[in-house]
Amino acid sequence: MKKIKTVGILIFLLIQGIIISPALAQDTKVLSASDISLIKEIASLRNDLSEARTVRLEHLTIENQTKAAWIIEELLNRAEQKICGTLKSVIKSEFDWGTYDSPDTMVAQAKGYLKTLKEGNDPFEGKFAEPGGYVVDHAFVKKGGTYHVFYIRGIAATDWPAYHLFNFGHAVSKDLKNWKIEKPVLQCPESGCDQFQVWAPYILKRNGVYYMFYAGVNPNVCQSICLATSKDLYHWTRCEKNPVIISGPWANGVYDQNKWSDCRDPMVLKDGSDYYCYYTSMRMNSETHKTESCIGISSSRNLLNWKDEGFIRLEHSLDIPPESPFVVKHKGIYYLVYTNYRRGIVYLTSKNPLKGWEEAPEDKMSIMSGVSATEILKVGKQWRISLISHLKNGLHFLEFRNLIWNKDGTMVVKPLDE
Protein backbone atom coordinates (compact mmCIF):
# COMPACT_ATOMS: atom_id res chain seq x y z
CA MET A 1 0.00 0.00 0.00
CA LYS A 2 2.87 2.41 0.75
CA LYS A 3 4.18 2.18 -2.80
CA ILE A 4 0.71 2.71 -4.30
CA LYS A 5 0.16 5.79 -2.12
CA THR A 6 3.55 7.15 -3.11
CA VAL A 7 2.69 6.71 -6.80
CA GLY A 8 -0.59 8.54 -6.22
CA ILE A 9 1.19 11.45 -4.53
CA LEU A 10 3.74 11.57 -7.33
CA ILE A 11 1.03 11.70 -9.98
CA PHE A 12 -0.77 14.50 -8.16
CA LEU A 13 2.39 16.58 -7.84
CA LEU A 14 3.34 16.01 -11.44
CA ILE A 15 -0.11 17.07 -12.62
CA GLN A 16 0.16 20.21 -10.53
CA GLY A 17 3.59 20.95 -11.97
CA ILE A 18 5.25 20.80 -8.56
CA ILE A 19 8.93 19.86 -8.37
CA ILE A 20 9.44 16.85 -6.12
CA SER A 21 12.45 15.56 -4.28
CA PRO A 22 14.46 12.56 -5.52
CA ALA A 23 13.56 10.72 -2.30
CA LEU A 24 9.84 10.91 -3.06
CA ALA A 25 10.37 9.88 -6.67
CA GLN A 26 12.46 6.86 -5.70
CA ASP A 27 10.97 3.44 -6.54
CA THR A 28 8.25 4.88 -8.76
CA LYS A 29 7.71 4.55 -12.48
CA VAL A 30 8.81 7.54 -14.53
CA LEU A 31 5.73 8.93 -16.26
CA SER A 32 5.83 10.51 -19.67
CA ALA A 33 3.85 13.57 -20.71
CA SER A 34 1.39 11.31 -22.55
CA ASP A 35 1.00 9.18 -19.39
CA ILE A 36 0.13 12.27 -17.35
CA SER A 37 -2.30 13.47 -20.02
CA LEU A 38 -4.05 10.09 -19.99
CA ILE A 39 -4.26 10.10 -16.19
CA LYS A 40 -5.91 13.53 -16.40
CA GLU A 41 -8.44 12.09 -18.86
CA ILE A 42 -9.12 9.16 -16.50
CA ALA A 43 -9.79 11.63 -13.67
CA SER A 44 -12.21 13.57 -15.88
CA LEU A 45 -14.02 10.40 -16.92
CA ARG A 46 -14.37 9.38 -13.28
CA ASN A 47 -16.13 12.68 -12.62
CA ASP A 48 -18.52 12.01 -15.50
CA LEU A 49 -19.05 8.47 -14.23
CA SER A 50 -19.93 9.76 -10.75
CA GLU A 51 -22.70 11.84 -12.30
CA ALA A 52 -23.91 8.92 -14.43
CA ARG A 53 -24.20 6.77 -11.28
CA THR A 54 -26.62 9.20 -9.64
CA VAL A 55 -28.87 10.15 -12.57
CA ARG A 56 -32.17 8.26 -12.66
CA LEU A 57 -32.33 6.51 -16.03
CA GLU A 58 -35.88 5.79 -17.18
CA HIS A 59 -35.18 2.66 -19.21
CA LEU A 60 -32.50 1.13 -17.03
CA THR A 61 -32.86 -0.65 -13.70
CA ILE A 62 -30.70 0.55 -10.84
CA GLU A 63 -29.08 -2.90 -10.78
CA ASN A 64 -27.96 -2.68 -14.41
CA GLN A 65 -26.96 0.95 -14.02
CA THR A 66 -24.75 0.00 -11.07
CA LYS A 67 -23.32 -3.03 -12.88
CA ALA A 68 -22.33 -0.94 -15.89
CA ALA A 69 -20.87 1.89 -13.83
CA TRP A 70 -18.67 -0.40 -11.76
CA ILE A 71 -17.38 -2.27 -14.80
CA ILE A 72 -16.48 1.05 -16.45
CA GLU A 73 -14.74 2.07 -13.23
CA GLU A 74 -12.66 -1.11 -13.22
CA LEU A 75 -11.58 -0.51 -16.82
CA LEU A 76 -10.36 2.94 -15.81
CA ASN A 77 -8.65 1.46 -12.74
CA ARG A 78 -6.83 -1.09 -14.85
CA ALA A 79 -5.66 1.49 -17.36
CA GLU A 80 -4.32 3.61 -14.52
CA GLN A 81 -2.64 0.64 -12.86
CA LYS A 82 -1.02 -0.31 -16.14
CA ILE A 83 0.33 3.21 -16.56
CA CYS A 84 1.78 3.19 -13.04
CA GLY A 85 2.86 -0.46 -12.96
CA THR A 86 1.09 -1.15 -9.67
CA LEU A 87 -0.86 -4.34 -10.51
CA LYS A 88 1.05 -7.45 -9.48
CA SER A 89 0.44 -11.16 -9.76
CA VAL A 90 -0.65 -13.43 -6.92
CA ILE A 91 1.21 -16.37 -8.46
CA LYS A 92 4.94 -16.92 -8.52
CA SER A 93 5.46 -15.45 -11.98
CA GLU A 94 4.58 -11.86 -12.80
CA PHE A 95 1.13 -11.16 -14.24
CA ASP A 96 1.33 -10.90 -18.02
CA TRP A 97 -0.56 -7.98 -19.51
CA GLY A 98 0.07 -9.26 -23.03
CA THR A 99 -3.59 -10.08 -23.67
CA TYR A 100 -4.75 -6.61 -22.65
CA ASP A 101 -4.79 -3.43 -24.70
CA SER A 102 -2.68 -0.37 -24.09
CA PRO A 103 -3.97 2.09 -21.45
CA ASP A 104 -5.20 4.60 -24.03
CA THR A 105 -7.23 1.90 -25.80
CA MET A 106 -8.70 0.72 -22.50
CA VAL A 107 -9.67 4.31 -21.67
CA ALA A 108 -11.31 4.66 -25.08
CA GLN A 109 -13.26 1.43 -24.41
CA ALA A 110 -14.45 2.76 -21.03
CA LYS A 111 -15.33 6.09 -22.63
CA GLY A 112 -17.54 4.35 -25.21
CA TYR A 113 -19.39 2.38 -22.53
CA LEU A 114 -19.83 5.56 -20.48
CA LYS A 115 -21.34 7.36 -23.47
CA THR A 116 -23.88 4.54 -23.87
CA LEU A 117 -24.73 4.67 -20.16
CA LYS A 118 -25.16 8.46 -20.15
CA GLU A 119 -27.59 8.06 -23.07
CA GLY A 120 -29.76 5.92 -20.80
CA ASN A 121 -28.85 2.53 -22.26
CA ASP A 122 -27.16 -0.53 -20.80
CA PRO A 123 -23.82 -1.17 -22.55
CA PHE A 124 -23.99 -4.75 -21.25
CA GLU A 125 -27.64 -5.53 -21.89
CA GLY A 126 -28.48 -9.22 -21.53
CA LYS A 127 -25.12 -9.94 -19.96
CA PHE A 128 -24.97 -10.98 -16.30
CA ALA A 129 -22.08 -10.14 -14.01
CA GLU A 130 -21.72 -8.64 -10.57
CA PRO A 131 -21.12 -4.88 -10.41
CA GLY A 132 -17.45 -4.45 -11.22
CA GLY A 133 -17.03 -8.18 -11.73
CA TYR A 134 -16.88 -10.93 -14.29
CA VAL A 135 -18.38 -14.42 -14.57
CA VAL A 136 -16.74 -17.47 -16.11
CA ASP A 137 -17.32 -21.19 -15.31
CA HIS A 138 -20.69 -21.62 -13.62
CA ALA A 139 -23.30 -24.15 -12.51
CA PHE A 140 -27.11 -24.07 -12.38
CA VAL A 141 -29.49 -25.81 -10.06
CA LYS A 142 -33.23 -25.26 -9.69
CA LYS A 143 -34.91 -25.30 -6.30
CA GLY A 144 -38.67 -24.88 -6.39
CA GLY A 145 -39.34 -22.17 -8.93
CA THR A 146 -35.99 -20.46 -8.46
CA TYR A 147 -32.81 -20.90 -10.46
CA HIS A 148 -29.54 -20.68 -8.56
CA VAL A 149 -26.28 -20.03 -10.36
CA PHE A 150 -22.85 -20.44 -8.77
CA TYR A 151 -19.86 -19.08 -10.61
CA ILE A 152 -16.22 -18.08 -10.59
CA ARG A 153 -16.38 -14.45 -9.52
CA GLY A 154 -13.53 -12.27 -10.69
CA ILE A 155 -12.89 -8.56 -10.93
CA ALA A 156 -13.66 -6.95 -14.28
CA ALA A 157 -10.72 -6.20 -16.57
CA THR A 158 -8.39 -8.67 -14.84
CA ASP A 159 -7.54 -12.34 -15.04
CA TRP A 160 -7.15 -14.87 -12.23
CA PRO A 161 -3.41 -14.30 -11.65
CA ALA A 162 -4.10 -10.64 -10.81
CA TYR A 163 -6.65 -11.18 -8.02
CA HIS A 164 -7.48 -14.27 -6.00
CA LEU A 165 -10.60 -16.25 -6.84
CA PHE A 166 -11.32 -16.81 -3.17
CA ASN A 167 -14.93 -18.02 -3.36
CA PHE A 168 -17.91 -18.66 -5.63
CA GLY A 169 -20.50 -16.10 -6.58
CA HIS A 170 -24.15 -16.98 -6.01
CA ALA A 171 -27.21 -15.40 -7.65
CA VAL A 172 -30.88 -16.35 -7.96
CA SER A 173 -33.54 -15.73 -10.59
CA LYS A 174 -37.06 -16.74 -11.50
CA ASP A 175 -36.64 -16.18 -15.22
CA LEU A 176 -32.89 -16.44 -16.00
CA LYS A 177 -32.98 -12.73 -16.89
CA ASN A 178 -33.27 -10.76 -13.68
CA TRP A 179 -30.76 -11.83 -11.05
CA LYS A 180 -30.49 -11.12 -7.35
CA ILE A 181 -26.93 -11.45 -6.09
CA GLU A 182 -26.52 -13.42 -2.86
CA LYS A 183 -23.53 -13.73 -0.55
CA PRO A 184 -20.55 -15.64 -1.96
CA VAL A 185 -20.05 -19.23 -0.80
CA LEU A 186 -17.20 -21.64 -0.12
CA GLN A 187 -14.40 -19.28 0.91
CA CYS A 188 -10.92 -20.74 0.45
CA PRO A 189 -9.62 -22.40 3.66
CA GLU A 190 -6.27 -21.61 5.27
CA SER A 191 -4.84 -24.98 4.27
CA GLY A 192 -5.59 -27.92 2.01
CA CYS A 193 -5.77 -28.64 -1.69
CA ASP A 194 -8.08 -25.67 -2.33
CA GLN A 195 -6.42 -23.04 -0.16
CA PHE A 196 -5.26 -20.91 -3.10
CA GLN A 197 -8.33 -20.61 -5.34
CA VAL A 198 -11.58 -22.37 -6.25
CA TRP A 199 -12.67 -22.84 -9.87
CA ALA A 200 -15.48 -24.24 -11.99
CA PRO A 201 -18.36 -25.53 -9.82
CA TYR A 202 -20.90 -28.15 -10.83
CA ILE A 203 -23.97 -29.02 -8.71
CA LEU A 204 -26.47 -31.86 -8.57
CA LYS A 205 -28.95 -33.12 -5.98
CA ARG A 206 -29.06 -36.58 -4.42
CA ASN A 207 -31.32 -37.74 -1.55
CA GLY A 208 -32.17 -34.20 -0.50
CA VAL A 209 -28.53 -33.05 -0.45
CA TYR A 210 -26.84 -30.78 -2.98
CA TYR A 211 -23.37 -31.87 -4.08
CA MET A 212 -20.98 -29.25 -5.44
CA PHE A 213 -17.95 -30.55 -7.32
CA TYR A 214 -15.29 -27.98 -8.08
CA ALA A 215 -11.62 -27.55 -8.88
CA GLY A 216 -9.52 -26.87 -5.79
CA VAL A 217 -6.27 -25.07 -6.58
CA ASN A 218 -3.19 -25.20 -4.37
CA PRO A 219 -0.45 -22.50 -4.22
CA ASN A 220 1.47 -24.30 -6.98
CA VAL A 221 -1.65 -24.12 -9.21
CA CYS A 222 -2.05 -27.89 -9.09
CA GLN A 223 -5.75 -28.64 -9.47
CA SER A 224 -7.86 -31.47 -8.08
CA ILE A 225 -11.56 -32.25 -7.91
CA CYS A 226 -13.09 -31.37 -4.55
CA LEU A 227 -16.56 -31.75 -3.07
CA ALA A 228 -18.81 -29.71 -0.78
CA THR A 229 -22.40 -30.42 0.28
CA SER A 230 -25.40 -28.36 1.33
CA LYS A 231 -29.06 -28.78 2.17
CA ASP A 232 -30.12 -25.22 1.38
CA LEU A 233 -27.63 -23.98 -1.26
CA TYR A 234 -26.48 -21.22 1.09
CA HIS A 235 -24.39 -23.08 3.65
CA TRP A 236 -21.74 -25.49 2.36
CA THR A 237 -19.53 -28.06 4.08
CA ARG A 238 -16.35 -29.35 2.51
CA CYS A 239 -15.86 -33.10 2.25
CA GLU A 240 -13.24 -34.38 4.70
CA LYS A 241 -11.87 -36.68 1.99
CA ASN A 242 -10.96 -33.86 -0.41
CA PRO A 243 -9.75 -34.17 -3.03
CA VAL A 244 -12.20 -36.82 -4.17
CA ILE A 245 -10.68 -37.13 -7.68
CA ILE A 246 -7.23 -36.57 -9.11
CA SER A 247 -6.04 -37.41 -12.60
CA GLY A 248 -5.63 -41.16 -13.11
CA PRO A 249 -2.46 -43.25 -13.51
CA TRP A 250 -2.42 -42.33 -17.19
CA ALA A 251 -1.31 -38.84 -16.03
CA ASN A 252 1.86 -40.12 -14.33
CA GLY A 253 4.78 -37.86 -15.09
CA VAL A 254 2.41 -34.97 -15.80
CA TYR A 255 0.25 -34.59 -12.71
CA ASP A 256 2.29 -33.22 -9.79
CA GLN A 257 1.14 -31.41 -6.62
CA ASN A 258 4.27 -29.25 -6.79
CA LYS A 259 3.57 -27.61 -10.16
CA TRP A 260 0.76 -26.52 -12.44
CA SER A 261 -1.24 -29.67 -13.20
CA ASP A 262 -4.57 -29.89 -15.03
CA CYS A 263 -7.45 -31.53 -13.17
CA ARG A 264 -10.33 -29.08 -13.31
CA ASP A 265 -13.78 -28.18 -14.66
CA PRO A 266 -15.70 -31.18 -13.28
CA MET A 267 -19.14 -32.12 -14.56
CA VAL A 268 -21.13 -35.06 -13.15
CA LEU A 269 -23.67 -36.98 -15.22
CA LYS A 270 -26.26 -39.21 -13.54
CA ASP A 271 -27.00 -42.18 -15.77
CA GLY A 272 -29.25 -44.76 -14.14
CA SER A 273 -27.69 -45.65 -10.81
CA ASP A 274 -24.22 -44.56 -11.90
CA TYR A 275 -22.50 -41.19 -11.85
CA TYR A 276 -19.76 -40.15 -14.24
CA CYS A 277 -17.44 -37.23 -13.65
CA TYR A 278 -15.81 -35.63 -16.69
CA TYR A 279 -12.96 -33.17 -16.19
CA THR A 280 -10.17 -31.36 -18.02
CA SER A 281 -6.81 -33.07 -17.65
CA MET A 282 -3.50 -33.88 -19.32
CA ARG A 283 -1.57 -37.09 -19.96
CA MET A 284 1.76 -38.36 -21.21
CA ASN A 285 1.51 -40.19 -24.52
CA SER A 286 3.65 -43.29 -23.99
CA GLU A 287 4.27 -43.65 -27.72
CA THR A 288 5.25 -40.10 -28.62
CA HIS A 289 6.53 -39.18 -25.13
CA LYS A 290 4.70 -35.88 -25.47
CA THR A 291 2.05 -34.39 -23.21
CA GLU A 292 -1.50 -34.26 -24.52
CA SER A 293 -4.61 -32.54 -23.22
CA CYS A 294 -7.57 -34.83 -22.64
CA ILE A 295 -10.82 -35.29 -20.71
CA GLY A 296 -10.59 -37.60 -17.71
CA ILE A 297 -13.49 -39.77 -16.55
CA SER A 298 -14.29 -41.26 -13.13
CA SER A 299 -17.36 -43.22 -12.00
CA SER A 300 -19.20 -43.56 -8.69
CA ARG A 301 -22.33 -44.98 -7.13
CA ASN A 302 -22.48 -42.63 -4.12
CA LEU A 303 -20.70 -39.40 -5.25
CA LEU A 304 -18.07 -39.95 -2.54
CA ASN A 305 -15.95 -42.85 -3.74
CA TRP A 306 -14.69 -42.60 -7.30
CA LYS A 307 -13.10 -45.06 -9.71
CA ASP A 308 -10.82 -43.94 -12.52
CA GLU A 309 -12.28 -44.81 -15.93
CA GLY A 310 -9.51 -43.52 -18.16
CA PHE A 311 -9.65 -40.58 -20.53
CA ILE A 312 -11.02 -39.35 -23.83
CA ARG A 313 -8.36 -38.51 -26.41
CA LEU A 314 -9.50 -35.66 -28.66
CA GLU A 315 -7.67 -35.29 -31.97
CA HIS A 316 -8.67 -31.65 -32.25
CA SER A 317 -7.64 -30.75 -28.70
CA LEU A 318 -4.32 -32.47 -28.09
CA ASP A 319 -2.38 -29.23 -27.72
CA ILE A 320 -5.11 -27.07 -26.18
CA PRO A 321 -7.11 -28.00 -23.06
CA PRO A 322 -10.67 -29.19 -23.73
CA GLU A 323 -12.24 -27.07 -21.01
CA SER A 324 -15.64 -27.08 -19.29
CA PRO A 325 -16.84 -30.50 -20.49
CA PHE A 326 -20.61 -30.98 -20.16
CA VAL A 327 -22.46 -34.19 -21.03
CA VAL A 328 -26.17 -34.53 -21.74
CA LYS A 329 -28.09 -37.61 -22.88
CA HIS A 330 -30.67 -36.97 -25.58
CA LYS A 331 -32.69 -39.72 -27.31
CA GLY A 332 -30.20 -42.39 -26.31
CA ILE A 333 -27.13 -40.47 -27.49
CA TYR A 334 -24.54 -38.90 -25.19
CA TYR A 335 -23.41 -35.43 -26.26
CA LEU A 336 -20.18 -34.09 -24.78
CA VAL A 337 -19.90 -30.33 -25.25
CA TYR A 338 -16.65 -28.55 -24.39
CA THR A 339 -14.66 -25.38 -25.01
CA ASN A 340 -11.93 -25.41 -27.64
CA TYR A 341 -10.35 -21.96 -27.70
CA ARG A 342 -9.56 -22.17 -31.40
CA ARG A 343 -13.01 -23.25 -32.49
CA GLY A 344 -15.33 -22.15 -29.68
CA ILE A 345 -17.96 -24.56 -28.37
CA VAL A 346 -17.65 -27.99 -29.97
CA TYR A 347 -19.16 -31.40 -29.29
CA LEU A 348 -18.75 -35.12 -29.83
CA THR A 349 -21.16 -38.02 -29.45
CA SER A 350 -21.28 -41.60 -28.22
CA LYS A 351 -23.73 -44.38 -27.39
CA ASN A 352 -21.74 -45.13 -24.23
CA PRO A 353 -20.78 -42.66 -21.47
CA LEU A 354 -17.27 -44.16 -21.19
CA LYS A 355 -16.11 -45.00 -24.70
CA GLY A 356 -16.81 -44.79 -28.39
CA TRP A 357 -16.74 -41.01 -28.53
CA GLU A 358 -16.79 -39.64 -32.08
CA GLU A 359 -15.67 -36.14 -32.99
CA ALA A 360 -17.57 -34.33 -35.70
CA PRO A 361 -15.68 -33.32 -38.85
CA GLU A 362 -13.54 -30.27 -38.18
CA ASP A 363 -15.70 -27.99 -40.34
CA LYS A 364 -18.89 -29.03 -38.52
CA MET A 365 -17.76 -29.52 -34.93
CA SER A 366 -18.33 -25.94 -33.73
CA ILE A 367 -21.78 -24.75 -32.65
CA MET A 368 -20.62 -21.34 -31.34
CA SER A 369 -17.41 -19.38 -31.71
CA GLY A 370 -15.79 -16.78 -29.49
CA VAL A 371 -17.49 -18.01 -26.29
CA SER A 372 -16.74 -20.57 -23.58
CA ALA A 373 -17.90 -22.54 -20.51
CA THR A 374 -21.35 -23.77 -21.53
CA GLU A 375 -24.01 -25.72 -19.65
CA ILE A 376 -27.15 -27.24 -21.12
CA LEU A 377 -30.46 -27.00 -19.27
CA LYS A 378 -34.12 -27.49 -20.02
CA VAL A 379 -36.43 -24.54 -19.32
CA GLY A 380 -40.02 -25.67 -19.62
CA LYS A 381 -40.24 -27.36 -23.01
CA GLN A 382 -37.25 -25.52 -24.44
CA TRP A 383 -33.57 -26.33 -24.29
CA ARG A 384 -31.17 -23.57 -23.35
CA ILE A 385 -27.42 -23.37 -23.48
CA SER A 386 -25.52 -20.98 -21.28
CA LEU A 387 -22.27 -19.39 -22.36
CA ILE A 388 -19.62 -16.95 -21.30
CA SER A 389 -19.20 -14.08 -23.75
CA HIS A 390 -15.91 -12.22 -23.90
CA LEU A 391 -15.36 -8.54 -24.53
CA LYS A 392 -11.94 -6.95 -24.77
CA ASN A 393 -9.71 -6.56 -21.73
CA GLY A 394 -11.06 -9.20 -19.41
CA LEU A 395 -14.81 -8.54 -19.48
CA HIS A 396 -16.72 -11.84 -19.25
CA PHE A 397 -20.50 -12.24 -18.93
CA LEU A 398 -23.09 -14.99 -18.55
CA GLU A 399 -25.59 -15.22 -21.40
CA PHE A 400 -28.10 -17.70 -22.84
CA ARG A 401 -29.11 -19.02 -26.24
CA ASN A 402 -31.69 -21.50 -27.49
CA LEU A 403 -30.42 -25.01 -28.22
CA ILE A 404 -32.13 -26.81 -31.09
CA TRP A 405 -31.87 -30.56 -31.67
CA ASN A 406 -32.07 -31.40 -35.38
CA LYS A 407 -33.76 -34.57 -36.60
CA ASP A 408 -30.42 -35.96 -37.75
CA GLY A 409 -29.04 -35.74 -34.20
CA THR A 410 -26.95 -32.61 -34.73
CA MET A 411 -27.43 -29.51 -32.62
CA VAL A 412 -27.55 -25.82 -33.46
CA VAL A 413 -27.63 -22.68 -31.34
CA LYS A 414 -29.93 -19.73 -32.02
CA PRO A 415 -30.64 -16.38 -30.31
CA LEU A 416 -33.35 -16.34 -27.65
CA ASP A 417 -35.68 -14.23 -29.79
CA GLU A 418 -35.75 -16.77 -32.64
pLDDT tens column, 45-100: 999 999 999 888 888 899 999 999 999 999 999 999 989 888 776 665 555 656 78
The reply to whether 237 and 153 lie within a common domain is yes
The reply to whether 68 and 168 lie within a common domain is no
What's the rounded Cα separation, in Å, for the pair 265 and 392? 24
The reply to whether 91 and 216 lie within a common domain is no
Query: Which amino acid does the sequence have at 159?
Result: D
Q: How far apart are the first and last CA of the chain?
A: 51
In this predicted model, what pLDDT tens digit does every residue of 256-279 receive, in sequence order? 999 999 999 999 999 999 999 999
Higher pLDDT, 86 or 133: 133
Q: In the prediction, which pLDDT does 344 show?
A: 93
The reply to whether 72 and 216 lie within a common domain is no
In a domain, residue 297? The reply is: yes
Q: In the prediction, which pLDDT does 399 show?
A: 98
The reply to whether 86 and 138 lie within a common domain is no
What's the rounded Cα separation, in Å, for the pair 159 and 152? 11
In a domain, residue 11? The reply is: yes
What's the rounded Cα separation, in Å, for the pair 325 and 375? 9
The reply to whether 78 and 199 lie within a common domain is no
For the chain, the domain total comes to 2
The reply to whether 173 and 229 lie within a common domain is yes
**Structural domain span for residue 364:** 133-414
In a domain, residue 124? The reply is: no
Helix (H) or strand (E) holding 397: strand 395-405
CATH code, domain carrying 328: 2.115.10.20
